[in-house]
Structure 1
Amino acid sequence: MDHLYSRNFWSPDDSACSFLLGHFDGGSKTADAVLAFYKERMAIEQEYAKRLCTLSRKIDLGKHELTGSLKSSLDVLAQETQQLGNSHYSQANKLATDVYNPLTEYAAERKNKGKILDSGLSKLMKHKRNLESKVELARKKYEAHWVKVNNYKTQQILMDETEAYRTQMKVNKLMDQMSEARDDYRGLVNEYNNMLNVWKNEWFSACENLQSMEEEKIKFLKANIWEYANIVSSTCISDDQSCENIRLSLEKCSYRADITSFVEEFKTGNTMSSPVNFIDYARGDVPQRKGGIQTVDLTSIPKITQQREQLGRKKIPPPKPTQEQQMQFDLIDRREETFKQLQEQAQLEASQLRSTGAQTTSEPSSNLVFSEYSDGTEASSSHEDDFKQSKQESTYSNPLLHSLVSDKPTESSRLKKFNIFGKTEKPVNPLEAYLSDLQLGGNGDMSKFRDSMQISDESKQENNEIRAPSFTFSRNNSVRKSKSSTTLKGKFVNHANLPSRSSEGFPVLKYCRAQYSYNASIEQELSFKKRDILMILHQQPDGWWFAENINTGKSGLAPSNYLVDM
């Protein structure tokens, strides 16, 4: 993206300058339009919140009900309406502080920069036009004197000595005037050519500044609208689909693509007016009817040469995004179609495990894989309960965690245990039931969803106690140790010594070694160090693999670009 504007926006006249400055003003008007949109949206949210709060206080729903569950339900309806109004009040305030105010400051700063740039270029263009007009007048004056001298010399041929002498006196006087006009013309031509070099440098700097401010505008508006979408989506689940459409459109926004397409469609060329040639009529030079043009060579601009020398001495690498910023761009919600495909694949793998597990005899493991894929059908620790509770409470208010949940659609079927009594149970997936309720026109009550999750966990725990009363399962601090960790403490590992199944009995797809160290930023991820060996249990299409660290015995999601196959 180096020098795209300065390479493509030159013109023999001032049309390129006027066009780019007009495009800059259009960008400022775009920022003002977004500000007006935010202001109207905040007014709508405040009015909506005000009417909701008034509605909850104005109408006493349980007034005519003395007691009973209906009265309690009506009271809850009034309380939730009040809470909904307060939530929209909070959203309006957050839009003002996190979206509207920053954009207001940016728009004001952009306008100030534009005024300074426009003022300097306007003065320079005015001076350039004045010099052009002066050069043209001086040329015409010099040409007129030269025509008169030639006419007098032609007439002298037909005159007698007396008249020829008088004519020669006039010619000598005109020659002095022509010499003075010639010197004035030459001086103005030199001054104009020097001014042309100054204009070339100044317009190059202006093009660089305009491109930089255009990039800044696109990136700022992208981040600002993204923040707006996050605020709106955190208020109501029903608005999530429209906010997802906004995110998908913003993902395709790139200041690089925008500027490149803009240049390809509206570029004015790479030519400018060439320096004015001195026309020496005394030597028989003939003036050109039209002014010449030249192709702009950026290497001839002194400022470009200085920048190249500075970059040659010291090259500063571009800033890299932080790990949190990269996750926010990478972890995007998956579609319901992907959810069903991965769930069917996991159910097929689980059925294969049951068929092979019936032919082998082994002790049930007391170490459970505590990750997003675990079902919680065995014993659960307090840490696991805290994790599920925090997950339920934050999934629909935090778009990032919502993306993480959508990335693991096989949670209910990935790690099903074998039934030692030969009975197959099909537990109800609360999340799947919640989604089905929404598709059938239900309201997807989140309180029922959390209650069903809790009831499902309790029923699974009771069934496990009935099926296997003689077995006790425990987990210390939600950390399990792999049975093979004690045999892999050397630096070099023999493939024959690597286990073919995980500590929970699931088949290993392949083995990978960590190229870099990675620290988990959320609870569902797996931390590992450089050169650790990981057993890959499931490969997701988004690049996050479910793995078990042989050295530590922990399991979770690991980024595939940190791993290399063994």
Structure 2
Amino acid sequence: GRDERGSEVVINRLHQGAQSCEELMRFYKERIALEEEYSRRLEAISRRSIGTYETGNLREAFETLRGETEQMAKSHSNQAKKLQNDSLKTLSSFSSTFVANRQPVEHSVEKIRKSKQAMNSTVLRLKERYQAETTKLNTLIAQESLLLGREQDKNRQKIHLQQELVSEVRQEYQISVKKLQELQATWIDEWRLSSAKLQEMEVSRIDFLLANIWEYTNSVSSSCVNDDAACETVRKSLEQCNAQQEIDLFVQKFGTGREIYTTEPFVDYLNGESDGQFRPRVVNTLSSETRSSSDKTLLQPQTAPPLISKKDTDVIMAPSNEDPLRATLEDLKHGGNGDMHRLKEMLNDTDPSQRRSRMSEVPDFRSSGSSQTTTGTTRILTRPKSMIEDLEQYQQQEAQKRNAKRSSFHSGIRSQSRSSINIPAKLSNNGLPMVTRNGKRVLKHAKALFDFSATIDGELTFKEGDVLSVLHMQEDGWWECERIANGAVGLAPYNYLETI
């Protein structure tokens, strides 16, 4: 290019190529440091104990995970060494050779280029001088015709001297131009050879970098493949694990089971009893159905608890696995409602033999109203629907008796509460009155957790969030309360309330 600027660009490009090699070497060094640090940390965690308390295949899976992590640590350590030898060292060696080969060519080209530039400057300087001296000579010649006598003679002497000077400058200018032309030819030959060498060096640099980075990526990729193979080994070990098998192995190893034994009994040493007379026995057995049912119960939304009745305090019915009909009849004998739906299904059974065998235990409520069963006699019902109607009528009668008994019981509580001693009105710590509107003493205050509607006279209707004053607490679970909002007084189930 003009003024040989193209050579400067090419040589500068080679300098930039050397800087690229330096940058890539710094990249490799940092990556090697990361691989070494990663390897050390993997090795550290692979030495830690994991799954110490596991058994069976799960313990083997933990051991596989630890072992494969150790192998990954070794793999990354080897990866760091491979990058050090195959990538970094080869690149460093090439970079040194590249700089060493570039410098002689660069110096030779630079020397000729500077000589040419100096000669070109000389030519330009002589050219300007030759032009100036020639202009001065032409001016003296033009004045020749205007001068006379001595002035004309002096002018001729000046013209003669100027002609000699112009001739001298002209000769120097010609010699400089010739030398510049010779240097130009030398420069062209030298630059042709140098540019070919520089281009060859640049091509070799690019090819080397491509191959070097390609080798680096292959090395890193192989490390990733090794990591994936290690993870696949761990996955295969996990496929051998099964939750139920692990639980069974745990049970076999530690001797646990599903049986629930009786609690420690009372041993009356005073009456001669000894520890050997009482042995633990199984009272219940847990099963998967029991656990799932319990879990399902925990997931159900919170609902209002069952009401408390006088019957609940007198009779506690334990769960039974006996015949459903027998359980229903036993419940009826003790004043319960029974499972009429199941009873109807059994009475409408299409199999006569089953109906006869089951109805042998049904009491004759129609004859005397007694709840006692007739033993040793098989009573065959020819009209099941009539029996159902009698049972429903009996159930209604028993419910009316219980309601009347509860109403009488609640009336006694109210009469007892009315005889309470009146005390001066005062407020509790939470700002609620400690006496009712009628002057009765308040034991404590409670907040309603659920809505409750009275079913018989004497019970108190309230809504969730209402504040009640507790006046009297009975052992059957019914509390006499006053609703602060409207002053209504009545009985409320305690499990619907929360003390505040």
Same structural fold, with TM-score higher than 0.5 when normalized by the shorter chain: no
Find the structure with the greater CA-based Rg: 2
Q: TM-score, normalised by structure 1?
A: 0.40
More relative contact order, 1 or 2 (CA 8 Å, 6+ apart): 1
